[in-house]
A and B are shown apart, each in its own frame.
Chain A
């Protein structure tokens, strides 16, 4: 293999480039990114960066003096993958011929229809998004967060700490019920009320009002919530349009095996755009978590370099964290397959909890609130083969 193109220059792309060099790949390495920025870390964008406690330099993922001997093509988007020519086509007309391709194009924030062009309406996905939101939050006012998932909850928590008046609107009866289940979703989302942040559940958003700038969020039940700033946190969709017609099988992102291999030889996918097969579930699952973007490229690169001669290992159970209102929230595993959840240590009312999810008595997931030590031990146990 003489040229490898990594398409995507965030954590998953950088991790893949590092894995390539670490695993002995010595050929030409091209990293393509649609943003102009060098690889940066996203988790602080809704927390310390938004609060002004971290600057842009702190977000850099590369270490001082790190040299991957890569060609960086930044600020240009991939528009196509030509399987016959083995080439990645770019929006600026260039193309990169490569024997191996790592797809790491991530996911893009979903928006609300009809919100384009209305000032004061934000999504939070990129550094540029975070800069814009940070500048507006600094002016204060009334913030309405649409979506009570992790991004929405973190923005609400950060904005609350900045002294902003915050309302969170969630269409589901319980926020976070998808990732955490009903019971613990209720426990974690109770953090909002602890701090005087209004949480409106079970009601959809009909639209936004305002001429050039948003002034209210209109709810399906007829209510109108005044807003100076709106953050839309309603999930993300995988950025895989550029692969249509390429021969790479798409299904909720790039469909891959348990080692990131796609339907095309010499092409692997990692990060938020990759729908990996999870042997623990017996199903494909697209995981939009930092840890997967950090770890899975090691396996995908090994598969790429081995040319399909390698047995896929068992990926570790998904893990993510969140910091809200000073509480460290950690979760590992799959809540959706559990039939029970019990608090093993701590108390729900103290927001100090180690909860274990089980299926037929076997632990399948674990949640920690301010329990890093115990959580880590449970997480290791879940990962054990």
Chain B
């Protein structure tokens, strides 16, 4: 299923939009004009990558500086060890749509435990 995220015109280059689904997904508009979607939560600890620092095709976690590649989800250095999921993105009639991956997400232990416990 394609989920509408936001209008491309409302997402300036260098910015991110967080889609508040569970677990949340973020859409990044790079300085080069490309659009990518990855899981929003750092795989190390509960932090929003949409709050991070976007440079080229990489986003740096705002807490502890692991960087994730927007194209592959790969992580560069500790403290995060696992990649984030990447999601398919489509732009139609000026709207960004995301098809959420069916892979299991790599959520940090504390967040995974919270989700497993169900809604608070």
State the CA gap A291–B62 with chains docked (Å).
13
Q: Which residues of A contact B109 (CB under 8 A)?
A: 48, 53-54, 58
| Interface contact A372-B113, CB-CB below 8 Å | no
Q: Which residues of B contact A294 (CB under 8 A)?
A: 65, 77-78
Q: Which residues of B contact A319 (CB under 8 A)?
A: 65
- Which of these, A58, A61, A321, contacts B78 with CB under 8 Å? A61
State the CA gap A328–B63 with chains docked (Å).
9
| Interface contact B78-A372, CB-CB below 8 Å | no
Q: Which of B67-93 contact A (CB under 8 A)?
A: 77-79, 81
Q: Which residues of A contact B39 (CB under 8 A)?
A: none
| Interface contact B51-A373, CB-CB below 8 Å | yes
State the CA gap A53–B46 with chains docked (Å).
13
Q: Which residues of B contact A11 (CB under 8 A)?
A: 78
Interface size class, chain B: 10 to 19
Q: Does B7 make an interface contact (CB < 8 A)?
A: no
Which residue in chain A gives the minimum CB-CB distance to B64? A321
State the CA gap A48–B79 with chains docked (Å).
14
| Contacts A48-B110, A58-B109; A41 near B60 (Cβ below 8 A) | no
| Interface contact A330-B63, CB-CB below 8 Å | yes
Kindly supply a per-residue 1/0 record for chain A positions 65-106, scoring 1 wherever the CB is within 8 Å of any chain B CB and 0 otherwise. Answer: 000000000000000000000000000000000000000000
A9 shortest CB reach to chain B, Å: 14
Which residue in chain B gives the minimum CB-CB distance to A330? B63
B120 shortest CB reach to chain A, Å: 14
Q: Does A376 make an interface contact (CB < 8 A)?
A: yes
| Interface contact A376-B60, CB-CB below 8 Å | yes
Q: Is chain B's interface secondary structure helix, strand, loop, or mixed overall? A: loop
State the CA gap A64–B75 with chains docked (Å).
13
| Interface contact B62-A375, CB-CB below 8 Å | yes
State the CA gap A31–B54 with chains docked (Å).
35
- Which of these, A53, A375, A380, contacts B113 with CB under 8 Å? A53
Q: Which residues of B contact A372 (CB under 8 A)?
A: 47-48, 51, 62-63
Which residue in chain A gives the minimum CB-CB distance to B110? A53
Q: Which residues of A contact B81 (CB under 8 A)?
A: 60, 63-64
Q: Which residues of A contact B65 (CB under 8 A)?
A: 291, 294, 319
A174 shortest CB reach to chain B, Å: 26
Q: Which residues of B contact A373 (CB under 8 A)?
A: 48, 51, 62
Q: Which of A250-295 contact B (CB under 8 A)?
A: 290-291, 294
Q: Which residues of A contact B60 (CB under 8 A)?
A: 376
Kindly supply a per-residue 1/0 record for chain B positions 32-75, scoring 1 wherever the CB is within 8 Å of any chain A CB and 0 otherwise. Answer: 00000000000000011001110000001011110000000000
Which residue in chain A gives the minimum CB-CB distance to B81? A63
Q: Which residues of B contact A380 (CB under 8 A)?
A: 53
B2 shortest CB reach to chain A, Å: 28
State the CA gap A9–B82 with chains docked (Å).
22
State the CA gap A265–B78 with chains docked (Å).
30
Q: Which residues of B contact A290 (CB under 8 A)?
A: 64, 79
State the CA gap A68–B44 with chains docked (Å).
22
A277 shortest CB reach to chain B, Å: 23
Which residue in chain A gives the minimum CB-CB distance to B66? A294
| Interface contact B62-A376, CB-CB below 8 Å | yes
Which residue in chain B gives the minimum CB-CB distance to A53? B110
Kindly supply a per-residue 1/0 record for chain A positions 25-54, scoring 1 wherever the CB is within 8 Å of any chain B CB and 0 otherwise. Answer: 000000000000000010100001000011
| Interface contact B52-A376, CB-CB below 8 Å | yes
State the CA gap A307–B117 with chains docked (Å).
55
Q: Which residues of B contact A375 (CB under 8 A)?
A: 62
| Interface contact B62-A41, CB-CB below 8 Å | no
Which residue in chain A gives the minimum CB-CB distance to B62? A372
B69 shortest CB reach to chain A, Å: 15
Q: Please give the residue numbers on chain B whose beta carbons come within 8 Å of chain A beta carbons, in ascending order.
A: 47-48, 51-53, 60, 62-65, 77-79, 81, 109-110, 113
Q: Can you name 23 A-B pairs with beta carbons within 8 Å? A: A41-B78, A43-B79, A53-B109, A54-B109, A54-B110, A58-B109, A60-B81, A61-B78, A61-B79, A290-B64, A291-B65, A294-B65, A294-B78, A321-B63, A321-B64, A328-B63, A330-B63, A372-B62, A373-B48, A376-B53, A376-B60, A376-B62, A377-B53
